[in-house]
Amino acid sequence: MKKRLISVLSMSLAITFLAACGAGTPKTSDSTASGGSSSKGYKVAYIARAQSDSFAAWLANAVKDEAKKYPDIKLDVFDGQANDDTENSMIENAITNKYDLVIVQPNNGEAQRPYVEKVVKAGIHAITTNARISGIEGASSVDANPYEQAGVNARAAIEQIPQNAKVVVLDGPSGNFHADERRKSWQKEFFEKRPDVKIVGEQIANWNKDEAMKYMEDWIQSNDKIDAVISMNDNMAAGAIEVVKDNPKFKNMLAYGVDGTAEALLLIQEGKMTSTCMQSAYDLATKLLESGNKLLTGGEKQIDTDIGNPLVNKDNVQQYIDILKKSGAIK
């Protein structure tokens, strides 16, 4: 397991991000240029939410790889460090540096909204992704359906979580479209149908594994039993699982997440995690570069599209592990 987790971490570290904040011109953390001079091609800025987020790192890597298929695109990748001010500054710098396309993975959609609006007003193409910021005229989006991402787990959990269970809930950042919609889905698809289930702990862990671990440490001190961890992403679920991995009292604890990260797939294979929803970074990256190319070349003016939401559990996890092995994400 340790070797496999090392390969997950190495995937996250594969991108050398920029740690920029405040005003000023950012230096690019990484760039991909295939053929042709930058003066004849298109400059694309990809602003990631946070290097510390395993899914955000996976997606940034996938975008880098996909960009290599487009000879006219020069891609620069930046790290928003899970900080609204940092990310907003990077968006402004992308405008100043006259990028042709700015792709934003928001930390907090409403905080980034006015800055993405500035991109559009500057005559620059904009795409928001994971999660989309809806309602910006002239801005495109590539995303998934977060309600269904949680819903596929919640509907399965109705039969899996025992009667009168005690559960804990790990939420993403308040105001984030994916965080809010996934929590809403769990409420409607599970909690309203299973009033016997008691939530004994719920906290916002901001997609972060370390934060989730701290909350889980508190919860196991105050509860002699936790039947399930309901998490809005895999990273937080993995943190909760890490805390109780050697505690026999929690050996039958169920755990649910979203993203389909390499770590989550391996935990499902080992029987430590119940299920996740695959949010394929490869599919998102494919659609991001496809859409970006159409916008840049004048094929489309605005594009809004989603990827699918397959449930991953012990019955089908191997096929997804095989996909990540082919890509090198799992060794």
> Between the CA of residue 255 and those of 161, 175, 232, 239, 264, what are the distances in Å?
10, 24, 11, 11, 10
List, in sequence order, every residue forming a beta bridge with 229; answer none if it has no partner. 168, 255
Q: Does residue 18 or residue 270 have the better pLDDT?
A: 270
* CA end-to-end distance (rounded Å), the chain: 11
Residues of the chain with CATH 3.40.50.2300: 12-142+281-300, 146-277
CATH 3.40.50.2300 fits 12-142+281-300, yes or no: yes
Q: Which percentage of the chain shows pLDDT scores above 70?
A: 88
What are the tens digits of pLDDT across the range 64-109?
Answer: 999 999 999 999 999 999 999 999 999 999 999 999 999 999 998 8
Q: Report the C-alpha gap between 132 and 271 in whole angstroms.
A: 33
What are the tens digits of pLDDT across the range 130-170?
Answer: 999 999 999 999 999 999 999 999 999 999 999 999 999 99
Q: Does residue 57 or residue 4 have the better pLDDT?
A: 57
pTM of the model: 0.80
Q: Report the C-alpha gap between 16 and 210 in whole angstroms.
A: 21
CATH superfamily of 146-277: Response regulator (3.40.50.2300)
Q: Report the C-alpha gap between 320 and 266 in whole angstroms.
A: 10
Whose CA is closest to 248, among 228, 268, 225?
A: 225
* Res 9 pLDDT > 50: no
Q: Which pLDDT score is estimated for 30?
A: 55
Mean pLDDT over residues 296-316, rounded?
96
